[in-house]
Amino acid sequence: MADTISLNASKRTAIRHGVKALRRSGKVPAVVYGNKIAPTHIQLDAHELSTVVRHAGHNRLIALTIDGDSSAQKMVLQREVQRDPIKGVIKHVDFYEVSMTEKITANVRVIPVGEPADVKTGAGVLLQETNTLSIRCLPGDLTESFSVDVSGLAIDGVIRVRDITVPQGIEVLDDPAEEVLRVTRFVEVKEEEVAPAAEAPEVEVIEKGKKEEEEEGTEGKEA
């Protein structure tokens, strides 16, 4: 289980009106929702929130304290983060409240570790067919990523979902036979031959005809 991050908030009264003034004061509006839980509108310090969002990701539990009431602390996961498209500052955040006794589903990153010998020599290429695994577990068993050792893979070697060892308490929902990582032989792709340039249009005839027209016009004037 990843370490829990703490975050302080206060209840928000400006839900539709006054949000711009709220942001100008250095606060960010947010909402906490969950299964069979009424949404709670909150506001957070922009600087503290930015730090938490950067470190928490989507699978790290956040201990949210509202109005200083630690006895009513909520365990939440970061969900949708809305940012200003130009400045990049956070404009709004959705948090999902979890029950520590109820299983949830999540997507966890797969990170290859090491380098196969054939990849080192340039004879092979490591391909990652799947970047995440879908899992089900209790919130307390959530993990940020699965590390997979690929150093022993040879060319045509494959690591499938069933080959990945996950911590106890985590159920992988993906097809066990699905490929996650593979080493394939490096094949040099030759550049396609450049098609010959199209021949320039024949303009001599046109120029000749134009010249003849000019000559005919001159003769007409002389007559």
Percentage of the chain beyond pLDDT 70 is 83
Q: Say if residue 219's pLDDT is above 60.
A: no
Which pLDDT does position 47 carry in this prediction?
A: 95
Superfamily of domain 5-97: Ribosomal Protein L25; Chain P (2.40.240.10)
| CATH 2.170.120.20 boundaries in the chain | 104-185
Provide the H-helix boundaries in 74-177. 117-120
Q: Name every residue whose Cβ is closer than 8 Å to that of residue 82 and which is 6 or more positions away in sequence.
A: 90, 91, 92, 93
Mean pLDDT of 149-159: 96
Parts of the chain belonging to CATH 2.40.240.10: 5-97
Q: What is the pLDDT of residues 14-53, one digit of tens each?
A: 777 788 889 999 999 999 999 888 899 999 999 999 999 9
Tens digits of residue pLDDT in 101-110: 999 999 999 9
Pick the CATH number of 104-185 from 3.90.1720.10, 3.60.20.10, 2.170.120.20, 3.40.50.300: 2.170.120.20
